[in-house]
């Protein structure tokens, strides 16, 4: 399965590079193509998150009222989900789908040739880690913004709003710049998409 995904991504990337003569632009455009293909799935996820934000005050009230009765708390919360036709696990599937794509991109980037097409803006060798730490900072910042737009108000998510960007930034320090560029582009796509969804389906 991983070979199939990596092969497909590699083929698309090579076709774009043949036209643009740049792996940087190739990675950005390939990422956009992947995200457009996943758009129906992520649209469903985003609608689910908007619905979750709408009922978060009711969930908070249940949690407060039944703080000492976890069983009743879970029962009433599930009833609330069913009433509003919300899948509490609806946000997980798009992330799970993106994981094999991320690993496949990692394999593809290992085969990038060491020539001028693999140098982005004359600064970044996309098969190597960013020596300027700009990509890790951008990866952290875009992860923070993307997470902030999809927060439902849950206390756990508030803590992850800080932890996740820091983790992404830390891991990005040693990852190939091309892979981090994929992550940044994907985040920017998500930010624009989520802002559009939030405008279409306002919480209040």
User: Which residues span the domain enclosing 175?
Assistant: 2-53+91-200
Find residue 124's DSSP bridge partners: 120
Mean pLDDT across the chain = 83
Question: Closest Cα to residue 58, out of 42, 78, 37?
Answer: 78
* Residue located via tokens 């249940």: 62
Q: Is residue 18 in a domain?
A: yes
Contacts for 51 with CB less than 8 Å, ≥ 6 apart: 84, 85, 86
Per-residue pLDDT reduced to its tens digit, 160-177:
778 889 999 999 999 889
Domain count, the chain: 1
In angstroms, how far is the first alpha carbon of the chain from the final one?
43
Q: How many CB atoms lie within 10 A of CB 36?
A: 11
- What's the pTM? 0.77
Q: Is residue 75 in a domain?
A: no
Q: Is residue 104 in a domain?
A: yes
Q: Is residue 160 in a domain?
A: yes
Q: Is residue 69 in a domain?
A: no
Q: Is residue 150 in a domain?
A: yes
Residue 72, H or E segment: helix 70-83
Per-residue pLDDT reduced to its tens digit, 8-65:
888 999 999 999 999 999 999 999 998 888 888 777 777 777 777 778 888 888 888 8
Residue 119, H or E segment: strand 119-120
d(CA 184, CA 190): 10
Tokens for 20, please give them.
């643009």
């Amino acid at each position: 399965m991983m070979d199939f995904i990596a092969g497909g991504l590699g083929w698309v990337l090579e076709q774009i590079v043949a036209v643009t003569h740049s792996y940087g632009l190739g990675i950005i455009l390939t990422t956009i193509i992947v995200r457009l293909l996943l758009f129906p799935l992520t649209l469903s996820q985003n609608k689910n998150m908007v619905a979750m934000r709408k009922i978060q005050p009711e969930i908070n009230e249940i949690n407060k009222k039944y703080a000492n009765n976890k069983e009743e708390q879970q029962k009433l919360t599930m009833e609330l989900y069913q009433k509003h036709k919300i899948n509490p696990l609806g946000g997980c599937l798009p992330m799970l789908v993106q994981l094999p794509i991320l690993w496949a991109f990692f394999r593809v980037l290992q085969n990038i040739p060491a020539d001028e097409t693999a140098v982005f803006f004359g600064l970044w060798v996309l098969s190597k880690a960013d020596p300027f730490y700009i990509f890790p900072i951008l990866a952290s910042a875009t992860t923070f913004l993307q997470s902030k737009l999809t927060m439902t108000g849950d206390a756990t998510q508030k803590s992850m709003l800080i932890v996740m960007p820091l983790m992404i930034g830390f891991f990005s320090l040693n990852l190939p710049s091309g892979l981090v560029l994929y992550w940044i582009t994907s985040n920017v796509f998500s930010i624009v998409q989520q802002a559009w969804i939030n405008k279409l389906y306002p919480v209040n």
